[in-house]
Structure 1
Amino acid sequence: MRGQPASKTATDTLAKKSKSEDVISGGHLVAKALKNEGVDTIFTLCGGHIIDIYDGCLDEGIRIIDVRHEQTAAHAADGYARQTGKLGCVVTTAGPGCTNAITGIATAFRSESPILHIGGQSSLTQHKMGSLQDLPHVDIMTPITKFAAGVMSTERVADMISMAARECFNGAYGPSYLEIPRDVLDREVPIETAVIPEPGCYRASVKSVGDPVDVEKLADILVNAERPAMLVGSQVFMSRGHQDAIELARKLNIALYMNGASRGILPPGDPHYFNRTRSSAFKKADVIVIVGTPFDFRMGYGKRISQAATLIQIDQDYRTVGKNRDISLGLAGDPGAVLAAVLQATTGRSENGAKGRQGWLDGLRAEEV
């Protein structure tokens, strides 16, 4: 794996006991790896197991927001990720520090929000000896994260952070948990042994658009639809594909509905914004496109959608496509990338059909009041 050696750390005026130019601590490796990932802020509640991470963050110019409860820190990291599109980061101390964050992490898991939870742990030399706040954090966090692991050596700190960050953005977004013991953070290792991978070297740089044949099929279906409707969910906003969704709706005169994090991508009053008529539209539409949201309780697990409609589902997670409801066409890929490809595939083919759908939109608009 290619990468760049960790650079010389800045002078630490707070607590570092050694300032040799030839070594770097685990805490500083955490900070450098986070900065390399684009993280400029961590949310935390100060604890002794993680103090070395703060030293590194201060040296690297990463903002530390110290809250009063770890649940708040987890929710704040979630909100940061949703609003910026970048990796959110919450850092907690061992034991109750980790468990207090569970609700926030579980929320991010269900909301498909990319946050990295770094947790402290007692030193490896005290493993299973009854050390302060010792809990099986990895086992606790596994059910509500996409990836959960512990770091066993200082040399692996940056590598493991890159691994955890990759999983946050792999397929459907979500949280990862990384436990780093106290002595792994405190230990200093030769700089040449501590390589920080570059982001482009440990995850795909191109977003998947699915099968090009299916993209063309979807374009054909939409161009020939008479009463099309589209529902966009959180994945569309999180992948920053909302502008493509809006442009597609406007170009083809599609009734656009929103849920989850995509609520608000269009303002009320926009000609293609619809809200109160979703149930009616899903019973009358001949083509329905569901993008980045599952057939869950909000849609009666898919049973509220007309069986006669041509139903298309686009999702980052292939396991969600066709779950709870049979579909006519399924595309597994990044929602924004797929919508952009469909938009391109309809170029020059939409004008007449779009005009003919105005009556469909006018009818729904009359029902909205």
Structure 2
Amino acid sequence: MSTDTQQETRLHGGRLIARRIKAHGVTKLFTLSGGHIFPIYDGCREEGIDIVDVRHEQTAAFAAEGWAKVTRTPGVAAVTAGPGVTNALSALASAQSNNSPMLMLGGRAPALRWGRGSLQEIDHIPFVRPLAKLATTPDGTEEIPGLVDDALRAAMTPHSGPTFLDFSMDHVFSEAAEPESDARLLQPHLGPGADGDAIERAGRLLQQAERPVVMAGTNLYWGHGEQALRALAEELGIPVFLNGLARGCLSADHELFFSRSRGAALKGADVALVIGVPMDFRLGFGESFGADTELIAIDVAEPVREHPRAVAAELYGALPATLDALRVAAAGGPDRSRWHEQLRAVEEEKHAAEAAELNDERAPLHPMRLYKGLAEVIDRNAIVVCDGGDFVSYAGRVVDSYEPGCWLDPGPFGCLGSGPGYALAAKMARPERQVVLLYGDGAFGFAGMEYDTLARHGVDVVGVMGNNGIWALEKHPMEFLYGYSVAAELRPATRYDEVVRSLGGHGELVERPQDLRGALDRAFSAGVPALVNVLTDPTVVYPRKSNLA
């Protein structure tokens, strides 16, 4: 009798995988079909997990990362052996640089014939391991459930990030008994805060500060620190600047949110709370702050790299508890209204300087004129996905975010082609919201065929393209350095909108500013994936200041 019962509970490896990811709340599997992973599809079908297939494995992995970015829960992708895995590596590296929790499942040639030259036989682990928090291969079917649990927990453990498992074909097709498991995903934002002595030291510094600032980034979002940050900023009167996934963690119309005065604020601050963001090229490797600015580094866990300059205090732990404790420790500081007025004056000056660009009526369009038109039609809670160079850089200046999880850019790894996967996942996770894909014409070449994916799955993302016919991020700096540019030209005025129409979407070309609003309105009401292909002026040079290296 016991033997019969045990046989009834034996499941093939793919079903065991599906059972475990479902137990952790996974509802979507992003993939591109491959025979090595058929049992995973069968398991997901039986367990009611949606299988979302795309046109390139990179997009499957970017969609998994996009799901994580929008939901703050792990995204899962499955790719076939060999080229399936190698095609997805850029997305895995992107997730690593963004601390995005995701699990990539890979096929693998059968263990029984390993080393004999099976189709797509290659050992993925050595080249995946540097990009993942955990990368391993089960030695048998019975090991699969436990390793899936381990991988998902590792993905969520601060610093969160991607994990990878591949499954030998004979193991994933074979059966094993399902073990009992009550494993649950970690909730790291509910854990203990930073050490009390460190809180006290940081509190004294902040309490005495006359010109404090907050510079917060992606790990503020992953650490669910937005409510505690808002309470701290409001009670202590601290101006807040945000980048990366932290955009929207304080609403863009909050009185303590600032953006255009960042340079003046970071240089002029006497104390800066650097929350969940590394001092990499985006912060001038620490030189964006004043030479005398005292830095308080706050994060969900200790940094993976040493700080490029000395910090006065370090607070590592769950962000809600840490920020709440710091707020209490720093209470009773000086009045900071004059500091606010000083920064607000800079903001207003920068806004006034932008007016000419926002109202520029040239044709082809100035990118800023395009964003003025877009601002008139997108909702407050729209999810904005960025995939491009200079065109997206302009968006970073003028497109506001009002809620967490509404700004998805490639992050510091800077991988083009991420946009369609992010947008696909964002719209599936939040179908009631507008999802806007800001697209450079160069970026379209990486994953433009995914409009077929969007159309097949009925995902009505609206793409807005700045089409200037060049690789502007490279062309203009190269001409500045050398007086010429190479490998920086694209075909002018290419009809990417016609490509989208042929793939089952809605497409329009915009050549003049007066035609923009109507095209945008029609795209948002089309009910199918859309692309508004806007011709922009290739002579416009983005005023870039960041030092990439």
Instruction: State whether TM-score is above 0.5.
Output: yes
Decide whether the 8 Å contact of 2:133 with 2:155 is kept in 1: yes
Pick one of 52, 61, 76 that aligns with 2:63.
Answer: 76
Q: Which residue of 2 aligns with 1:145?
A: 132
Q: Distance in 1 between matches of 2:245 and 2:207?
A: 27
1:324 aligned partner, one-letter code: P
Decide whether the 8 Å contact of 1:158 with 1:195 is kept in 2: no
Q: Distance in 2 between matches of 1:128 and 1:183?
A: 14
Pick one of 111, 114, 117 that aligns with 2:98.
Answer: 111
Q: Which residue of 2 aligns with 1:283?
A: 267
Pick one of 100, 106, 112 that aligns with 2:87.
Answer: 100
SS in 1 for 2:215: strand
Q: Which residue of 1 aligns with 2:112?
A: 125
> TM-score of the superposition, structure 1-length normalised?
0.88
Q: Which residue of 2 aligns with 1:185?
A: 172
In the TM superposition, residue 167 of structure 1 has moved relative to its aligned partner by 1.6
Q: Which residue of 2 aligns with 1:358?
A: 337
Q: Which residue of 2 aligns with 1:324?
A: 308
Q: Which residue of 2 aligns with 1:168?
A: 155
In the TM superposition, residue 310 of structure 1 has moved relative to its aligned partner by 1.8
In the TM superposition, residue 307 of structure 1 has moved relative to its aligned partner by 2.6
Q: Distance in 2 between matches of 1:322 and 1:211?
A: 19
Q: Which residue of 1 aligns with 2:287?
A: 303
Q: Which moved more, 1:279-288 or 1:73-82?
A: 279-288
2:244 aligned partner, one-letter code: G
Structure 1 runs of 4+ aligned residues shifted over 4 Å read 202-206
For 1:1-369, list aligned pairs within 5 A: 21-191=8-178, 194-199=179-184, 206-320=190-304, 322-345=306-329, 349-350=331-332, 353=333, 356-369=335-348
Higher-RCO chain (CA-CA 8 Å, sequence separation at least 6): 1
SS in 2 for 1:136: coil
Percent of aligned pairs with the same residue? 36
SS in 2 for 1:342: helix
Deviations 1:262-299 (A, max 9, x none): 11223333211111111211221111010001010011
Decide whether the 8 Å contact of 1:222 with 1:287 is kept in 2: yes
In the TM superposition, residue 301 of structure 1 has moved relative to its aligned partner by 0.5
Q: Distance in 2 between matches of 1:320 and 1:129?
A: 40
1:196 aligned partner, one-letter code: S
Q: Could you list the runs of 5+ residues in structure 2 that have no partner in the other structure?
A: 349-549
SS in 1 for 2:130: helix
Deviations 1:210-233 (A, max 9, x none): 212212332333233211100110
In the TM superposition, residue 321 of structure 1 has moved relative to its aligned partner by 7.1
SS in 1 for 2:181: strand
Q: Which residue of 1 aligns with 2:542?
A: none
Decide whether the 8 Å contact of 2:32 with 2:60 is kept in 1: yes
Q: Distance in 2 between matches of 1:115 and 1:159?
A: 17
Decide whether the 8 Å contact of 2:189 with 2:319 is kept in 1: no
SS in 2 for 1:290: strand
Q: Distance in 2 between matches of 1:204 and 1:271?
A: 30
Q: Distance in 2 between matches of 1:137 and 1:91?
A: 14
Q: Distance in 2 between matches of 1:328 and 1:311?
A: 5
Deviations 1:89-130 (A, max 9, x none): 111110111111111111111111001011010111011111
Q: Distance in 1 between matches of 2:169 and 2:321?
A: 42
Decide whether the 8 Å contact of 1:321 with 1:332 is kept in 2: no
Change (3 A) 1:229 1:36: same
Q: Distance in 2 between matches of 1:27 and 1:83?
A: 27
Deviations 1:68-90 (A, max 9, x none): 11111111111100110101111
Q: Distance in 2 between matches of 1:307 and 1:89?
A: 44
Q: Distance in 2 between matches of 1:51 and 1:127?
A: 19
Change (3 A) 1:112 1:204: closer
Q: Distance in 2 between matches of 1:205 and 1:189?
A: 35
Q: Distance in 2 between matches of 1:321 and 1:76?
A: 28
1:213 aligned partner, one-letter code: D
Change (3 A) 1:173 1:364: same
Decide whether the 8 Å contact of 2:7 with 2:177 is kept in 1: no
Q: Distance in 1 between matches of 2:305 and 2:227?
A: 23
Change (3 A) 1:33 1:96: same
> TM-score of the superposition, structure 2-length normalised?
0.60
Q: Distance in 1 between matches of 2:258 and 2:224?
A: 20
In the TM superposition, residue 203 of structure 1 has moved relative to its aligned partner by 8.6
Q: Distance in 1 between matches of 2:242 and 2:190?
A: 26
SS in 2 for 1:330: strand
Q: Could you list the runs of 5+ residues in structure 1 that have no partner in the other structure?
A: 1-7, 9-18
Name the Cα RMSD after superposition.
Answer: 2.1
Change (3 A) 1:213 1:158: same
Change (3 A) 1:139 1:320: closer
Q: Which residue of 2 aligns with 1:16?
A: none
